[in-house]
Structure formats: C-alpha cells, structure tokens
Structure 1
Amino acid sequence: MLDIMLPFYGREDHFRAAVTSVLQQDSDQWRLVIIDDAYPDPAPGAWARQISDPRVEYRRHEVNQGINRTFQECLDLSTATWVSVFGCDDLMQPNYVRRVAELTAQFPDAGIIHPGTDVIDADGAPARTIVDTAKAFYRPRGPRPRVLGGEELAVSITRGNWMNFPALAWHGPTVRGMGFRPGYQIVQDLALALDVCRVGRTLVLDDDVVFHYRRHRGSVSSWQAVDGTRFREERAFFLSEAETFDDEGWHRAARAARRHLSSRINAATQLLPALRAGDLHGARGLLAYAAGR
C-alpha cells in the first residue's frame, strides 16, 4: 500500500532510529527502500544490509547525487499506490502506515496525505522553534481531517509552507507522472504540492500525531537558511509561481506568492545566527530579503 523511500545522508544514530521506526509499524502494508547517497561512513550501510526483513531494500550511489536527484530517484523506484519520501533523521510512530491507509480509504480523491506531526530536537526531546510556531500559525484551522484543494490550497501553502515534507504520503501515480522539478534543493516539496494541486488532487490534513519531525541545526534547510542560499531559491521560486498563478486565474495565490511574507520573516530570524558566524555579507543579504528588496 505504501512505499517508504528513505534517502540517506546523515547521522548514523538518527538513521538507525528512523529505519527501526519503520520496522516497528503495526501494519505490514509497506515496503522500505533505502537510498544511500554515497555517505562517507560505510557503517550505516553495513548495518542496513544486515536487516533480514524482505520488505527492506538497500541501494547505494557510487558518487553523491544531491537532494533533488535522489528525491527524484525515490519517485522513480516507487511502485505502490502511495509513496512517502521519509527523512533519515525523522521517526514514525507504530501506527503511521495504518493511519495513512485509513485516510486514503476515507478520501479516495486525495493527492497528498498530511498526518498529524510533532517536532523533536536532535536528541529526540519535544521541541518548539520560531519556524514551527510560524507553521502552526499558518496551518489551516477547523475540524480534522480537513480537505484542501484548488486555489484555497495554493494560497494556504504559498502564504506559509506549513507542511512537514517527510511526513507526507503522496498519491504514487500522480507524482510519478510529474516528478520533482529539477534544480531545487529547498522548495521541491512545495513545488510538487502545487503541481499536485493543479491537476485537481486534494490535500488531507489530519491531527492524529503519528510522525515525529526532527528539527536540528545540522539539516540542509537549517544551514542553507543561515548562509542565505535558501532564500535566494525561495525568492526566484515565488516570483515565478506568481506569474503562473496569474496565468491560471489564481490571483489570490499570485499575491501571496509575490509577498512571500513567511519566507521573509524566516530570513529575519536568521540574521542573528549569521552575525554570530561573522558572515556580514550574508547578514546584509538576509536583511535585504526580509525587507522585500
């Protein structure tokens, strides 16, 4: 029912915990494919090869391919009706697969399932950052599960991307037919969600917490935020989407994309870390971006 695709490049302890959380699912309707993006330390791969469960497959790249190409490979290798691109440092609760199955059965027109998610830190303790507080602010309110689609969904996730990408389950035939847009390292999940939205599929947002999203400074999105790389990519993406939205007649979504207010607020929160790192050039860029210049 669900292909869990796990691109790996990171800490071995986080990786082992992530894989173990899949093995502990209380439903057997899953397959796990680990794609090792040529991580320098061979120990995690050696451990993964020893897993005897026939539902687990391990692959390793000869050279590092990077996030976008590896994510696309996840879609290309998937075959199930539903697919998750699981984070190698995140955790599934034992009922994750079962809850996704319940929601897909209840909402057959869905293109994206967003199960309930909470946030943990590098040590696995509950965490709450400024970013997660902002996500909670932008996340739609109302009874759950809630179905969002069309321009309503486009406005919601463009105004503030409240989704936790590794927790999502995607409708396999839909996303395999479109793929991740090449060239993106940060906004590829938002771009794919908007593409799913454009073909008429919906997003189902649930509150039952079955997934732990790990927030820590070692993640790609965290260090690219500090050096400003993230925001250069986001600005180009949002301005391009605004033009597309206008062409589609989704003018509210176009305005949200041009303002990209939550992205600019996020940039402002990175000013202090940049200054602490002595990166005055990066700090000036972050300030300009936060101001909308």
Structure 2
Amino acid sequence: MTFDFMLPYYGDVQLMQDAVRSVLAQTDPDFRLVVIDDGKEPDVPGWFAALGDERVHYLRNEQNLGITKNFQKCVSLSEADHVVIMGCDDLLHPHYLETVRKIIDAHPGIGMVQPGVEVIDGDGNVAYGLADQTKRRLYAPKVDGRRVMGGEELAASVLRGNWLYFPSICWRGDALRKVNFRDDYSVIQDLALVVDLLEAGERMVIDETATVFRYRRHAVSESSVQAFSGTRFTEAERYFSAVAARMDARGWHRAARAARFHSASRLHALTMLPGALRRGHREGLRTLTRHAFTAGRRADG
C-alpha cells in the first residue's frame, strides 16, 4: 500500500516549509511527497534541493494555474494507492500516516478517510472559532470512535453543511483520479468532489479516535474586498441548484432538499453581512442577502 502526499503550493514560504517538515517527520516513512509550486518565490527551489530527500519531488509551474487547475494537476500526477492533498499551511501530526494506514487496513477498498482534526490559527495555536464550532455542533454526524458513511446519508449531511476538513482527507487513488475536480468551481470544488465520489458509490470512514491533522484557519481580513463581495456565494448557488437536480434524478430526495436549503452556506453568508455593510460593498450586500434569505423560500416552495 503506497501513499502520496500532494502539496499544491502558493503563498507563505515559512508556513509551506513547516507543512513539508511535518510530512517528513512521519513515524511511517513509506510515502512520496510531491510539491507543485504555483508561485514565483525565488528561494523555494533551492530550499527543496537542499533537503536531499529522495521521497520529495518538487515541481514549479511555468505559469500560474490557479487553485482548481493546480489541484487537478496534483490529482493527475499522483500515482499511489492512496493520496492526501494537504494545504500548504496545514500540519500533520507525526502519526498521521501510521494512523490512516491502520484505518484503511481495517476497511479495505474504502474511498475516503476523514481522520481526527484540530484547528489552529495563523500562529499555530489551537482555536475553534464560530465556523468550526458550528461545523461540529450543528452539522457533523455523531461519531463514537469510528463510523462508515456513504450514499444519500453522507451526501445529505455534507450538502446541509460541509463539516469535512478537505486537506486532511485520505483518498483512494484510483477513485480520485477517475473523478478529479470539476473545472467549473473555484471555491466549492472540495464539496463537489466528495459528492461526485459518493455518486460513484464510494464510502467514507470518519475516525475520531486520534487527532492527527492540524488544519489552519486564517481570520478573514476586514481589508479584503473579495471577502465580502459575495462572489463565492454566487458559485455556491449555482452548484447547489445543479446538484439538487442530480440528487432528485438519482432518487436521493433528502439530499436534494439539503442542497436546495444549504443551511450552512446561508448561515455563512449571514455572518458576512455586517462586514459588507461596514465596507459599503453594495453588490456584495445584495448577493449575500439573496443567498442568506431567499434560498430557504425557494427550497420550501
């Protein structure tokens, strides 16, 4: 059983280096790390060359591909039986691979593994903000140690509110490469991938017996116009409308209702409204308000 850690990189050099070090510190040394650099930081290639570790493969894109295409490239260049597409600022606990390998051994053929995760802030301190508390308390299923989910049950759960931590998930390589990320999404592509795999018959193990991944959650900057423009919710509306129709056609009517209502996405838009109001971002206000308050009426109607 082989493992690939695929690391799509763009941004902070120090955080990326910490992420790489966390991979190299695994108690289970049997893996390949592939870093696909979508940036132009001058000292990064030299840093990787100096590592001198044959398990590490570094590639720099000739031109910037953007998030989705770089993710797609990670999938297409993966080779292993199992694949992790981790964030370039996230951290693995030393026992991540050892733990996930045991879970897969206990569930042969499983498509996805969601291990235990703790959330950290930009400084590396454990911090569960409103978004993560909401995930855990309102949307995540009850898991007593370990649970296997799939089909409409899991589809309805994640479409209601995406409680997964995508960079921590270990994917079965052949299933991932067969589906890959959709071209037409740049924000909600992780949810779309999971639902596509569920439609293909894959299942997921959710394991809370050990916390083995540190997911970095950065605060939304008040100075970021994009954060309050509402463009991510325009994409979300397009996705939820399309996937609801697919769920109905499949006979997964509970999942279709969850997609049409998409309560977590609407709640997220609601929390962004005060910031958009302070910014005086009129178009963002309209988009956020529409997403927060009209989706439920459309779903009920």
Distance 1:87 1:142 in 2: 25
The alignment status of 1:236 with 2:250, answered yes or no, reads: no
> Which segment is superposed worse, 183-192 or 277-286?
277-286
Q: 1:15 touches 1:44 (CA, 8 Å); kept in 2?
A: no
- TM-score calculated relative to the size of structure 1: 0.95
Could you tell me which residue of structure 1 aligns to residue 199 of structure 2? 198
Write out per-residue CA displacement over residues 60-93 of structure 1, whole angstroms, 9 at most, x where no aligned residue: 0111001111101111111101001110000000
Is the Cα–Cα contact under 8 Å of residues 8 and 15 in structure 1 kept in the other structure?
yes
- 1:114-153 pair list within 5 angstroms: 114-137=114-137, 138-153=139-154
TM-score (norm 2): 0.93
Q: Note closer, same or farther for the CA distance 1:173–1:224 as it changes in structure 2 (3 Å cut).
A: farther
- Distance in 1 of aligned mates of 2:195 and 2:109: 16
* Matching of residue 216 in structure 1 with residue 218 in structure 2: yes
**Aligned match of 1:72:** 72
AA partner of residue 58 (structure 1) = Y
1:224 Cα offset (Å): 5.1
- The change in CA–CA distance for 1:263 and 1:112 in structure 2 (over 3 A counts) is same
Q: Is the 8 A contact 2:4 2:79 kept in 1?
A: yes
Pair 1:261 & 2:263 matched: yes
1:240 aligned partner, one-letter code: A
Q: Decide which moves more: 61-70 or 125-134.
A: 125-134
Which amino acid in structure 1 is aligned with residue 150 of structure 2? G
Tell me which residue corresponds to 1:156: 157
Which segments of 5 or more consecutive residues in structure 2 lack a partner in the other structure? 296-301
Counterpart code for 1:228: G
Runs of 4+ in 1 over 6 A off after TM superposition: none
Q: Does 1:172 align with 2:167?
A: no
Secondary structure at the counterpart of residue 50 of structure 1 = helix
State the distance in 2 between where 1:277 and 1:12 align: 30
- Once residues 175 and 2 of structure 1 are traced to their aligned partners in structure 2, the CA distance between those partners, rounded to angstroms, is 13
* Amino acid in structure 2 at the alignment position of 1:258: R
State the alpha-carbon separation in 1 of the partners of residues 127 and 162 from structure 2.
Answer: 19
Conserved? CA contact 1:264–1:292, under 8 Å = no
Once the two structures are TM-superposed, the CA of residue 275 in structure 1 deviates from its matched residue by 2.6
Taking the aligned partners of 1:77 and 1:167, their CA distance within structure 2 comes to 19
Shift of 1:225: 4.5
Distance of 2:172 and 2:272 partners within structure 1: 34
C-alpha displacement at 1:13, in angstroms?
A: 1.3
Aligned to 1:271: 273
1:187 to partner: Cα distance: 1.3
Aligned-residue offset at 1:45: 3.1
Contact 2:234 2:287 in 1 (8 A): no
Matches of 1:114 and 1:58 in 2, distance apart?
A: 26
Note the aligned Cα RMSD (angstroms). 1.5
- 2:168 partner letter: A
Name the amino acid aligned to 1:290: A
- Residues 223, 250 of structure 1: CA spacing in aligned structure 2 closer, same or farther, 3 A cutoff? farther
Corresponding residue pairs, total = 290
